[in-house]
Amino acid sequence: MAEPLRANLSGKTCLVTGASAGIGLAAARALARLGGRVVLAVRNPDKGARALLSVVGEAGREAELAVVDVARRESVRAFARDLATRHRTLDVLVNNAGIWSERRRLGPDGIELVWATNVLGYFHVTELLLPLLRAAGKARVVNVASQLAGNLDLSDVQFARRPWSGRAAYAQSKQADRMLTWALARRLSGTGVTANAMHPGFVASEIFGKGGGPISLAASVYSKLRGRRPEEGADTVVWLAASPEVEGRSGLFWIDRQERPCRFRHEKAEEALWALCRDMVDRPEAHRS
């Protein structure tokens, strides 16, 4: 069991995407208990409203709700504009919103939905909130990744040619999340803003139950029987967001509050991925498949 986290986030603004359930909701609750003013970024406003009530009720302090579909470019842009009207700074950004799908689906911009949500969502939200993060000074970006990572093919990130596999698509997205974290950390060097990626463990959450298909069903059942509680999965997220122990540390991969090596480190490939994401966000119509 991890030691209780001793940190004070009073006066700090923390934003968590995918905060209506699972790891995201557990992280939002924990950050609020540490004194942070938490913004819960959610896709479903009804679930978000219930999550907001639970955070406010448990922490006994104000929190905010922001509705955004991270897979839709215009939704992310509207969300970022609105946030900037209400906050001059952002101290913590937790990119957590993600999906698993047993069938290939296209998102609202015509981009394959797992990639659009798990990768372009992280990339675009972070990019548009960078001015607020830089304005905060010593801000922190925490990207929820996974040990289930691999299969990245920059020539076919949407599985237009490869046979579809829900596991492979998810693993590819989580490899990309790690690599984008390293590319972001380089860009933030010297600014006081840090960026780290982490693996939460196998957590009992809703992500598998919504995937459709027998593999997702089996994973959902197994996670409920053997998986970590969301609070356990969120522990390292909150530690990276708040602990004085990691102040100034950036571009690292963490599991259970421990730095771990990452085999997905290759600057040229990271920059190629960054450029691809940049183009897919700028010109989604050119990448529809």
Give the pLDDT score at 49.
Answer: 98
Domain extent listing, the chain? 13-284
Q: Which amino acid belongs to residue 283?
A: R
The string of DSSP codes covering 41-52 is EES-HHHHHHHH
CA distances in angstroms from 254 to 13, 119, 262, 277, listed in the order given:
23, 19, 9, 24
Task: Give the right CATH number for 13-284 from 3.30.43.10, 3.40.50.720, 3.30.70.260, 3.30.1370.10.
Answer: 3.40.50.720
Distance CA 155, CA 118 (A): 18
* Per-residue pLDDT in tens (0 to 9) along the chain, 289 residues: 578 898 999 999 999 999 999 999 999 999 999 999 999 999 999 999 999 999 999 888 899 999 999 999 999 999 999 999 999 999 999 999 999 999 999 999 999 999 999 999 999 999 999 999 999 999 999 999 999 999 999 999 999 999 999 999 999 999 999 999 999 999 999 999 999 999 999 987 666 555 566 655 555 454 555 669 999 999 999 999 999 999 999 999 999 999 999 999 999 999 999 999 999 999 999 999 7
Q: Read off the pTM.
A: 0.93
222 is catalytic: no
The string of DSSP codes covering 231-272 is HHHHHHHHHHHH-GGGTT--S-EEETTEEE--S---HHHHHH
Catalytic residue among 170, 208, 254, 264: 170
Give the pLDDT score at 59.
Answer: 87
CB burial of 54-68 (b: ≥16 within 10 Å; e: otherwise) equals: bbbeebeeebbbbbb
